[in-house]
Amino acid sequence: MAHEYIPEISTDRDGNEHVVQGWQDDFYGGKLGFWLFMFTEVLMFGAMFLVLTYYNMLHPADFVTASASLNRFLGGTNTVILLVSALTMGLSLLKMRAGDVKGAKLMIWATIILALMFLSIKAVEWTAEYNHGVFLGLDALQSGNAHSKPFGEILFFGMYFTMTGIHGFHIIIGIGLMVWLLKRINAGKVSPEHHILHWNIALYWDIVHLIWVFVFPYFYMIGAASGGTGGH
Amino acid sequence: MIDYKSERVMYYKVLVGLLLLTAVTFVLPYLFEAGANLPAQMFIAVIKAWLILMFYMHLKGEKLISVMGIFSLAIVLVFFIIVLVVDVANFQFKDESHITAPQHTTTGVTENVAAPVKH
């Protein structure tokens, strides 16, 4: 059954009524909504940081020892990769807003490649840790057996794998969003005039970077003075 | 339309700032004791977060979103601090909890000595 089109009416400050042509240009509304979503992300990771801090208060020495065993070279490389990827994503949005659609697409591809590099390095790191018996579910991270690590280290690594795992999942989602963005740009649905989707995906990538800004020092750097570059 | 060439300068300046601050995080552990290292690391992280929020996430000049963000985060922070400080300080099952019970490591085997919970 076809519905009769009933136009939306909005009223300006002087009381004059206007027919609303569409909400696609409600740029601020779109941006505000995405910020609300990002607060939920901060809430989730914030709660995890609080748990981490509480465990750290209970077992500070174990946390330093466990942190010292992480590979700071790989962690630091990933930090720089994410940092540069935030730049390429930001430049892609700038190029889009400046009317350079082709340049914007190139920058999005650069961001995707950097994101894949981040995941590859994380995979190498996790594989090395698994080969050294440090992984969720293995004996070293279960209390009460001959291979058990001290309890504080078990808590540290539990949070490390959980938080870097969830962060990695966000990176995968980000890659998916960027591929979708490229499709929308190719379809002409995202353009220099209508770029709220591009803006919000760039914001998403920034929040993923922002979370890593806190994850990296908390896990990798608190035991850095204990010697070497660390690493399993 | 914006002018790409003039706008991109800010992005590169922020990148340099973030890279320098990242380099500082590698130096800090050798400047501070283990106890002071974490607060120092978090302080640098907050400065990096501020740069990202203001310039990469375009919060500079965005009064409504900034105020909304600070207000909501402050409420959550106060709530979490109350939970963390008051609740944890008065935790009744310290000796029974798997997390807070004292650990025996003298035999080389980590043993949790949480008292059995009576049901």
Parse chain A into domains and list their residue ranges: 27-226
For A212, nearest residue in chain B (alpha carbons): B45
A50 vs B117, higher pLDDT:
A50
Beta bridge partner(s), residue A19: A9
Spell out the per-residue pLDDT of chain A, length 232, in tens: 455 667 778 888 889 988 776 666 678 888 889 999 999 999 899 989 989 998 998 999 999 999 999 999 999 999 999 999 999 999 999 999 999 999 999 999 999 999 999 999 999 999 999 999 999 999 999 888 888 999 999 999 999 999 999 999 999 999 999 999 999 999 999 999 989 999 999 999 999 999 999 999 999 999 887 765 666 6
Domain A27-226 top-level CATH class? mainly alpha
Q: What is the pLDDT of residue A144?
A: 82
CA dihedral A128, A131, A134, A135 (to 10 degrees): 90
Q: Does B23 touch chain A (CB under 8 A)?
A: no
For the cut 70, the answer to whether the pLDDT of residue B117 exceeds it is no
Which positions in chain B touch A144 (Cβ < 8 Å)? 109-112
CA dihedral B13, B43, A83, B73 (to 10 degrees): -100
Which positions in chain A touch B48 (Cβ < 8 Å)? 213
Residues B11-67: pLDDT tens digits? Answer: 999 999 999 999 999 999 999 887 889 999 999 999 999 999 999 999 988 888 888
**Phi first, then psi: what are they for A193, rounded to 5°?**
-85, -30
- Cβ-count burial of A135 within 10 angstroms (0-12 exposed, 13-18 middle, 19+ buried)? middle
Give Dmax over CA atoms of chain B in angstroms.
70
CA distance A187 to A181: 10
CB atoms near residue A4 (< 10 Å): 4
For B109, nearest residue in chain A (alpha carbons): A146
Decide: B28 and A221 in contact? Cβ < 8 Å: yes
**Phi first, then psi: what are they for A160, rounded to 5°?**
-60, -50
B83 vs A122, higher pLDDT:
A122
Residues B86-111: pLDDT tens digits? Answer: 877 787 777 777 777 766 555 555 55
Give the residue extent of every domain in chain B. Answer: 4-104
What b/e string do you get for B43-79 counting C-beta neighbours within 10 Å, with b at 16 or more?
ebbeebbebbbebbbbbeebeebeeebeeeeeeeeee
Size of interface A-B (CB pairs under 8 A): 132
- Where do we find the tokens 């939920």? A40
**Do B56 and A56 make contact, defined as CB atoms within 8 angstroms?**
no
Amino acid at A116: L
B12, B110, B113, best to mutate vs chain A, most A CBs in 10 Å: B110
CA distance B14 to B20: 10
- Which residue from A94, A99, A221 is facing B8, i.e. has the nearest CB? A94
- DSSP conformational letter for A14: T
Which positions in chain B touch A207 (Cβ < 8 Å)? 57
Touching A: B residues 63-102, CB under 8 Å: 64-65, 68-69, 72-73, 76, 80, 84, 88, 99-100
Q: What is the pLDDT of residue A25?
A: 66
CA distance B94 to B13: 50
Q: Does B38 touch chain A (CB under 8 A)?
A: yes
Decide: B53 and A210 in contact? Cβ < 8 Å: yes
CA distance A125 to A122: 5
A50, A65, A213, best to mutate vs chain B, most B CBs in 10 Å: A213
- Cβ-count burial of A93 within 10 angstroms (0-12 exposed, 13-18 middle, 19+ buried)? buried
DSSP letter for each residue of A58-109: H-HHHHHHHHHTS-HHHHHHHHHHHHHHHHHHHHHHHHHHTT-HHHHHHHHH
For the cut 90, the answer to whether the pLDDT of residue B115 exceeds it is no
**Do B49 and A145 make contact, defined as CB atoms within 8 angstroms?**
no
Q: What is the pLDDT of residue B9?
A: 94
A46 token code pair: 């914030």
